[in-house]
Structure 1
Amino acid sequence: MLSVQENEVLTQVSKGTPMGDLMRQHWTPVCLSEEVTERDGTPLLVEALGMRMVAFRNTKGELGLLDERCPHRLASLVLGRNEDCGLRCLYHGWKFDVAGNVVAMSSEPEGSPLMSKVKHRAYPTVEAAGFVWAWLGDPETVPEFQPPAFCPTGTERVSILKIRIPANWAQMTEGQIDSAHSSSLHSSDMVPARVDSAGATDSKWLRPSTDKSPRMQAATTDYGFQYVAIRRPIKQAATHDYLRITQYIAPYTSLIPPNSSYNVATVIVPVDDGASMFHFIAWGDPEDTPDTQSWRAFASAVPGEDLDPVTWATYGTMENRFRQDRDLMKEGNFTGIKGIPNQDIAMWVSMGTIVDRSDDVLGASDIAIVEFRRLMVDAAIAMANGAPALGTACRLPQAQIASYQGVVPKGSDWRAIWQTPAP
């Protein structure tokens, strides 16, 4: 359990809060590259960490990310004209380039000195692994961007589904680092099978274990933490364990144990205290990793069918019980909810916008949850007191951090078994 004050530290993300300031020490994935592909296309509203910005691609293909409000009279630039290498406010015709420079002031006299005195806030961006990443921290201390763990070489296929969820980022992240729930909540989609390793079909994920009560161990790292769920395998149960190792890379990324075809990751970015953007990612060899369309169909997260195609909000809500099919449940489906992420979302949203962690009951399977809460609260407070932000001085680059699953001899060192040798 956390105190009310500790829970506020964990969940509040606006500028000036301990957690919000910690997050601003990392490159933040603020939207998908696919949302801003068109030159001189429609400006995109971008929301992250309690901020509202506008993204656009100019005539030359350059990407701009500006504060949403025009500095003149604070009208929204989301409604602006994207033309001739700049974004023009509709109200008085002020126009900004991708760096935030004012290149036109239609309402001001020709030669007005005001043009040289105004500079709109523009944010550094990098496009990588299907995302637009932005630096939302101090503009004077922009660090070098490093490849994310889910696209370590830049040659991988990265397929991303995106869903806007009315829930705080922390309860969603707790779901991603909770291996025990998958044996119940996802039991109709992650099915036991007499296989040597976790596998994937077009409709199911296969697991080499029927064990629903894993033993948990966790270890703090300089990038977050790692933990293992140890289960009894179907085959070789007397001599082997089935290990599923999850990595939490603070503050946004969780590496989920892979299957024999592709890797899995999640990226959770707070919109504000009460909403988050959830990204569920399949990545790996292009020959074996589903493409974006197939991945979204597999997860029942197709824009226009399962999600609003503009806002990415799920059509499943508490009011419609997340489109739960009770007849399907009578036939044996555990949840009656289609799609692994939709099953998770139903649980997160059902908790309320922000969980009261002073009032929940934790058990032996919640070791990772306890570790996450304590780690992030302590890290945020430490940074507020002058310590470096968690994850900004790591021994390993993200590209060398990996999740793991496999049937291994009992007694294997799980803390080392996943590690990629340094080049």
Structure 2
Amino acid sequence: MARMLSAEENDILTRVGPGTPMGKMMRRFWMPICTSAQVSEPDGDPLRLKLLGESFVLFRDTNGEIGVLDELCMHRGVSLALGRVEDCGIRCLYHGWKFGVDGTIMDTPNNTNPRFKQRMKAPAYPVREAGGLVWIYIGPKECRPEFPHFEFMNGPAEHRAVIRLNTRANYLQLLEGGTDSSHVGILHSNQANPTWMKDEFTARDDEDFNPGALASSDNAPTLEIEDTSFGYHYVAKRKGPRAEDGAPTVSVRVTPVFLPVGRIIPAPAYQFFVFEVPQNDYVTSTYIITHGNKPIDRGEIIRIMGLKEPFWNDQDCNFRADWSNGMGQDRAKMATNWTGFDGIEQEDAILAVSMGPILDRTKEHMVAADRAVIHLRARLLESVQRHEKGESPISHEIVDYTPVRSLPDTVIREGERWQDLVPGNSTVGV
């Protein structure tokens, strides 16, 4: 049995605000803060956003440039999210101070001294727009890494579907769920095995975008884990059919986990890149980017994720299921629907919310199938420890992630190397 986390370790892993060990480590990375679709129009409404316990305002100016400033106006502390976005800047409603995307003070109607504007700037942050997301860096200026490149940033936009979901749960609860392969065939039974209610197994081959598709009914996979420069990857080995010559086989499913908050989940024809980005200790923005070599129907991705009104919409992206509405569970249909919920991400988010804002991991009883989750915690703690010693966190030096791949269920002979099916995972950053 695995050693339980101490209360101190759980606190280190889950607290991300300014000055916390995890918060300081995470600030060394570029992080998504919203989708491009949320701020698509020049001079459109500003966005009030939170990241790692800090508050920001984001806007797209007249020229299409994006700016991210501290939310509160440097003059008297009024929220700039209430301001006017116009004429290449954002203007505070209180006294009309106006700021450019780089923090330049463009106008101070109640102060006519021109030298003031020239010697002061509002706090502004480096911004990049790529892959349907807006990314920012809020760490020390002298430590800013190169902007990372992921495979989903390549190709035409129609080959990519981007979804954001804001869930009232600590980021680690959601990230651990994404590194837990044994739950796929159970929690996501309707997506993994449509005949589960008959005590039969039927592989799903009708939806090549289904990340829950499994090739085996084995819900107690054997896990093998290998550290990489970006974090680690692991394989879930499930019992496979006999080969034509009678040799035993296994069905393998490979998941890369890139620190501090990312992973890639496989589907037959697509890769699901998922980032669990903490707004603060209690709210997480999940970014799901589905990417492949052919066009994607975003509506179908939203459907299989189970995201719909009244629990989620594509405007504010907030997930509203909670105990006051029974988590949205329809128990009347549970004879043919394992959970009474509508899809994969809805199921994952609801179970994370059900744990409470921050789970007390000192009370867990872990088993062998939880090895990848246990390893996630260990690698995150290792990354924090490195940073505390003045070293680079795990994955901090990696710029090009494009060779990193997940692998959907693939049958191989026992003893064959699964690593050879995802060769780029071991060479990235080396």
Aligning the two structures, in what range does the TM-score lie when normalised by the shorter sequence? over 0.9
Residue 186 in structure 1 maps to residue 192 in structure 2? no
Kept in 2, the 8 Å contact 1:156–1:284? The answer is no
- Residue of 254, 261, 264 corresponding to 1:252: 261
- Residue of 395, 400, 404 corresponding to 1:401: 404
Q: Quick one: distance in 2 between partners of 1:323 and 1:276?
A: 19
Per-residue CA deviation, residues 282-307 of structure 1 (Å, 9 max, x unaligned), is: 211233xx3323321332214x5431
Equivalent residue number for residue 417 of structure 1: 421
Higher helix residue share? 2
- Check 1:393–1:249 CA distance in 2 against 1; reply closer, same or farther (3 A cut): same
- Residue of 4, 17, 34 corresponding to 2:7: 4
Per-residue CA deviation, residues 82-122 of structure 1 (Å, 9 max, x unaligned), is: 0000100000000000110001001112x342212221111
Residue 159 in structure 1 maps to residue 168 in structure 2? no
Q: Quick one: distance in 2 between partners of 1:268 and 1:204?
A: 17
Q: Kindly report which structure 2 residues correspond to 1:204-223, keeping only aligned pairs within 5 A, or say none.
A: 205-223=212-230
Q: Quick one: distance in 1 between partners of 2:395 and 2:372?
A: 18
- Residue of 218, 239, 245 corresponding to 1:232: 239
Per-residue CA deviation, residues 357-395 of structure 1 (Å, 9 max, x unaligned), is: 11111001010011011111121022112111111134x
CA shift, 1:152, in A, is: 4.9
- The worse-fitting range, judged by mean Cα deviation, of 268-277 and 19-28 is 19-28
Equivalent residue number for residue 76 of structure 1: 79
- Residue of 328, 350, 359 corresponding to 1:323: 328
Per-residue CA deviation, residues 178-222 of structure 1 (Å, 9 max, x unaligned), is: 000111100111127666x96626889542211111111112222
Equivalent residue number for residue 358 of structure 2: 354
- Check 1:2–1:204 CA distance in 2 against 1; reply closer, same or farther (3 A cut): closer
CA shift, 1:33, in A, is: 0.4
Equivalent residue number for residue 281 of structure 1: 289
CA shift, 1:143, in A, is: 2.6
- Check 1:154–1:267 CA distance in 2 against 1; reply closer, same or farther (3 A cut): farther
- Check 1:379–1:140 CA distance in 2 against 1; reply closer, same or farther (3 A cut): closer
Equivalent residue number for residue 307 of structure 1: 312
- Residue of 3, 18, 27 corresponding to 1:15: 18
CA shift, 1:397, in A, is: 2.8
Kept in 1, the 8 Å contact 2:211–2:267? The answer is no
Q: Quick one: distance in 2 between partners of 1:176 and 1:20?
A: 21
Kept in 1, the 8 Å contact 2:192–2:214? The answer is yes
Q: Quick one: distance in 2 between partners of 1:198 and 1:384?
A: 47
- SS of structure 2 residue aligned to 1:398: coil
- SS of structure 2 residue aligned to 1:367: helix
Q: Quick one: distance in 1 between partners of 2:370 and 2:303?
A: 31
Equivalent residue number for residue 332 of structure 1: 336
- Residue of 367, 373, 377 corresponding to 1:369: 373
Kept in 1, the 8 Å contact 2:28–2:143? The answer is no
Per-residue CA deviation, residues 132-186 of structure 1 (Å, 9 max, x unaligned), is: 0111112234332121243356777221221111111111100000000111100
Kept in 2, the 8 Å contact 1:15–1:21? The answer is yes
TM-score, normalisation: structure 1: 0.92
Per-residue CA deviation, residues 248-284 of structure 1 (Å, 9 max, x unaligned), is: 011121111221x222221110000111001223211
Q: Which runs of 5+ in 1 are unaligned?
A: none
CA shift, 1:318, in A, is: 2.3
Kept in 2, the 8 Å contact 1:94–1:106? The answer is yes
Q: Kindly report which structure 2 residues correspond to 1:89-238, keeping only aligned pairs within 5 A, or say none.
A: 89-109=92-112, 111-152=113-154, 157-191=159-193, 200=207, 205-234=212-241, 236=243, 238=247
Provide runs of 4+ in structure 1 moved above 3 Å: 149-156, 192-195, 201-206, 234-238, 308-311, 420-423
- The worse-fitting range, judged by mean Cα deviation, of 41-50 and 113-122 is 113-122
- SS of structure 1 residue aligned to 2:300: helix
- The worse-fitting range, judged by mean Cα deviation, of 124-133 and 235-244 is 235-244
Per-residue CA deviation, residues 330-349 of structure 1 (Å, 9 max, x unaligned), is: x3211011111111112111
- SS of structure 2 residue aligned to 1:164: strand
Q: CA RMSD in A?
A: 2.3
Q: Quick one: distance in 1 between partners of 2:380 and 2:297?
A: 34
Equivalent residue number for residue 41 of structure 2: 38
Kept in 2, the 8 Å contact 1:210–1:233? The answer is no
Q: Quick one: distance in 2 between partners of 1:279 and 1:314?
A: 13
Kept in 2, the 8 Å contact 1:149–1:402? The answer is no
Kept in 2, the 8 Å contact 1:156–1:283? The answer is no
- The number of equivalent residue pairs is 415
Kept in 1, the 8 Å contact 2:99–2:106? The answer is yes
> Quick one: percent identity of the two aligned structures?
33
Residue 271 in structure 1 maps to residue 279 in structure 2? yes
Per-residue CA deviation, residues 54-91 of structure 1 (Å, 9 max, x unaligned), is: 11111111111111110000100000010000100000
Kept in 2, the 8 Å contact 1:318–1:349? The answer is no
Kept in 1, the 8 Å contact 2:193–2:202? The answer is no
Residue 65 in structure 1 maps to residue 71 in structure 2? no
Q: Which runs of 5+ in 2 are unaligned?
A: 195-200
